[in-house]
Amino acid sequence: MEMILQDTSVFTTYNASAHSVKSDWSPFKTLLLKDLANHQIDDNFTFEWEADNGEKSTWNQTMIFFTVKHWKFAKAASAFENFGLDQDNPNDLVQVGIMTRWVIGRIEEIKRRFRDPSKVEQRTRSKKRRDLWKYRKATLQQHLPQFLDLLPDADCCSDTEDDPHRPIQKSICPAWRSVKYGNWLHEVDRLSYQDQSTIKLRIHPARRLDTRRQEGHTVNPFGTVCANLPENCYESAFLKHYDPLEKLALGISPSSAKLDDALTAIATLLPN
């Protein structure tokens, strides 16, 4: 690791006279990225906050040494006047120790945040949405691939109430989604269950989330809005709050017959 500190060749490319705005830190970022590339490090400059051995991981140790090296150079070039490690002790090992303690503190802070009940619940709900999306996407890929664009990502799926003590859980309807679009997604679930039941023991699909939940009456007004869908996939009352520019930013396309076609097509694959 000490070789990282000793190799200062990258700094010979720094032109102080061309860097007149000292509050502009971009030249120092460029030097850092170039130095990483010189050491055959292609990944971004960041720390591995969830590493098993924390600050002692090889990656984190490497980043600590690069941080100290480049901070000291930038400081000498009149940057970071209000941001310092230990300005009274220029010893490299002392600076590395200070940086290491900062990394330890950040790792502990992230761990505490990760264990926060609200964060745990948020991750659980996100996983359930992703699982639903994967089931639905696999079903469409097999039976109705021409309608895959109506299932752009997991944001089109509703959340599920988090109650592990109840065998049947209820969905939480997103405020943005139209009834017709929601009905089509539920029909995709039916087709998915039917498909799995024909190729595997019925107990397998019965374990899946999409077969262990019912449509609920709770509406989530703050759920993430799924982008890149036709306008008739969105609730009209919801869209009233969006101007044309905001609709464009969401990638909302004009209403089309595709959703009706999708409902008709899936009906032919399901029993009455």
Dist. CA 70–CA 31, nearest whole Å = 8
- Long-range contacts for 29-32 (Cβ within 8 Å, ≥24 apart)? 31/70, 31/73, 32/66, 32/70
Tell me the two tokens of residue 85.
């490690």
Q: Taking the domains of the chain in order of start, what are their residue ranges?
A: 2-115, 128-267
pLDDT at 151 over 50: yes
pLDDT one-digit tens code per residue, 218-234: 777 778 899 999 999 99
pLDDT per position as a tens digit, 89-148: 668 888 888 889 989 998 888 888 777 777 777 777 888 889 889 989 999 999 999 999
The pTM of this model reads 0.55
